[in-house]
């Protein structure tokens, strides 16, 4: 056989056999399960667990996440993922893909809570009075996990994924500051994730439309005239006035709100007096109010002020009301875009099966992810991380809060799968302002 004929046969053989040796081309419906398998690999999963535990040991409060931010940047550097820093003091924004439209974002919050951890384990918080009691350490680990998945499968991206690592979700409105600093430049849709201690790993829950309530805070100082408790006629009692105020505030929801328009008003702060036999000069009260529509939230705000001023005056006291509590801002309702809901159900169903995708009822908790949804279509969901070794699941914001780290793989893979599908569909979602509110 001649040399030229042999070379020709080798060329034909290699050409025909190329698909056998090339990387398997995934269909879109195969991506979610493939990504989940990748995230469950020991080297990937153990890496995510290690990141989560490192962050858990070193919790930082809002706008103080300097070490957490540094860790994020170090991991992005290792993966060769470009990023911009800082946004909103400690925020980081990374980029994977072509650098061209469409741009779609996935977000994690990084801050901890001012709580002393009561869980005894090897990775307990080392920072006294600070704890990751809401799962934000897991959120960061899952977003970095999604980044690793996407970087390893960048050939699937015909657009750009924006990785948003955000500070100060816990009342500080870090999302709002990220937007003001330009973190959403060119982004047309965004996905966010939250851990759930009531769902086992392998399950997710969410809904279209209103998911979490908008929230506001208030603080009021009710001033009277102090004096001896034995001769109250010479005083003006602010404690009595504050008590009347609190009782009257409870009527705003029970007597004035539409029963089908869910609202909450809770007074959680009452401070006044230092001695059992002295009527103080003033009392300070404070609380939170929540609703699923901006209209209801604003109405509650107006009525809270009217009730406090009016009821204080009835008992001869003066009052001032402040809705700009320290480090607290108003959060809009978290409302999921319906087109993104359809996409989520498809992708999550392909990954976990229909039984693993739960429809949930709206919750009165709030999330500053809602600020992103005011600007662009957004979608927020919960991933199961129930610690099944406990008789009862632990609540978020509890010093006994724990999670099942087995859910990290699902969260990372679902994040990555959603943006791949969004980009591949090349769809333009409906105007986010058309969403419904309860």
Which residue positions form the known binding site for Mn(2+)?
Answer: 134, 136, 170, 194, 397
Annotated binding site: 134, 136, 170, 194, 397
Quickly tell me which residue has 């404690």 as its tokens: 239
Interatomic CA distance for residues 118 and 284, integer angstroms: 30
Both structure tokens of 171: 């009342």
SS3 129: coil
SS3 316: coil
CB distance 97 to 161 below 8 Å: yes
Question: What DSSP letter does each residue of 311-362 carry, written as one string?
Answer: HHHHTT-EEEEES--TT---B--EEE-HHHHHHHHHHHHHHH-GGGEEE---
Helix (H), strand (E) at residue 163: strand 160-166
CB distance 190 to 106 below 8 Å: yes
Sign of CA dihedral 67, 69, 72, 74: negative
128 phi/psi in degrees, rounded to 5: -55, 135
Both structure tokens of 299: 């109405």
290 phi/psi in degrees, rounded to 5: -145, 150
Residue 8 neighbours by CB distance under 10 Å: 11
Q: In what order do the strands lie in the sheet with 187-196?
A: 83-87, 91-97, 160-166, 103-109, 187-196, 378-384, 204-206, 357-359
The residues pairing with 223 across neighbouring beta strands, listed in sequence order, are 282, 318
Both structure tokens of 160: 């750009």
Sign of CA dihedral 292, 298, 300, 304: positive
Interatomic CA distance for residues 119 and 318, integer angstroms: 45
Helix (H), strand (E) at residue 302: helix 294-314
The rounded Cα 267 to chain-centroid distance in angstroms is 24
Interatomic CA distance for residues 191 and 279, integer angstroms: 53
SS3 65: coil
Question: What DSSP letter does each residue of 261-281 carry, written as one string?
Answer: S-EEEEEEEEE--SSTTEE-S
């Amino acid at each position: 056989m001649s040399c030229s004929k042999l070379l020709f046969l080798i060329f034909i053989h290699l050409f025909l056999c190329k698909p056998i040796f090339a990387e398997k081309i995934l269909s879109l419906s195969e991506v979610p399960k493939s990504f989940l398998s990748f995230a469950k690999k020991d080297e990937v999963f153990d890496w995510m667990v290690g990141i989560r535990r490192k962050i858990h040991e070193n919790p930082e409060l809002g706008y103080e996440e300097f070490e957490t931010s540094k860790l994020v940047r170090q991991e992005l550097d290792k993966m060769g993922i470009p990023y911009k820093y800082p946004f909103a003091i400690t925020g980081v924004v990374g980029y994977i893909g072509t650098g061209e439209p469409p741009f779609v974002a996935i977000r994690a919050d990084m801050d901890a809570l001012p709580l002393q951890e009561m869980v005894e384990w090897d990775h307990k918080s080392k920072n006294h009075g600070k704890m990751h009691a809401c799962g934000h350490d897991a959120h960061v680990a899952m977003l970095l996990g999604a980044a690793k998945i996407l970087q390893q499968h960048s050939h699937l991206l015909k657009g750009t994924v924006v990785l948003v690592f955000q500070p100060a979700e816990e009342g500080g409105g870090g999302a709002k500051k990220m937007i003001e600093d330009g973190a959403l430049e060119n982004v047309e849709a965004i996905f966010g994730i939250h851990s759930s201690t009531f769902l086992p790993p392998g399950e997710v829950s969410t809904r279209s439309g209103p998911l979490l309530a908008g929230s506001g805070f208030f603080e009021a100082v009710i001033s009277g005239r102090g004096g001896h408790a034995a001769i109250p006629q010479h005083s003006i009692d602010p404690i009595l006035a504050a008590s009347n105020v609190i009782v009257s505030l409870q009527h705003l929801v029970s007597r004035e709100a539409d029963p089908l328009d869910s609202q909450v008003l809770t007074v959680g702060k009452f401070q006044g007096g230092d001695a059992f036999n002295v009527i103080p000069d003033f009392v300070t009260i404070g609380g939170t109010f929540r609703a699923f529509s901006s209209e209801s939230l604003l109405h509650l705000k107006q009525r809270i002020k009217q009730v406090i001023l009016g009821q204080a005056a009835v008992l001869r006291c003066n009052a001032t009301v402040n809705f700009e509590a320290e480090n607290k801002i108003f959060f809009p309702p978290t409302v999921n875009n319906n087109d993104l809901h359809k996409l989520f159900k498809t992708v999550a169903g392909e990954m976990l099966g229909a039984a693993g995708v739960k429809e949930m009822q709206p919750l009165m908790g709030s999330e500053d992810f809602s600020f992103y949804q005011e600007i662009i279509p957004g979608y927020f969901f919960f991933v199961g991380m129930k610690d099944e070794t406990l008789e009862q699941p632990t609540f978020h914001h509890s010093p006994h809060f724990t999670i099942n780290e087995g859910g990290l793989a699902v969260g990372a893979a679902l994040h990555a799968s959603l943006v791949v599908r969004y980009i591949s569909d090349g769809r333009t979602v409906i105007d986010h302002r058309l969403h419904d509110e309860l």
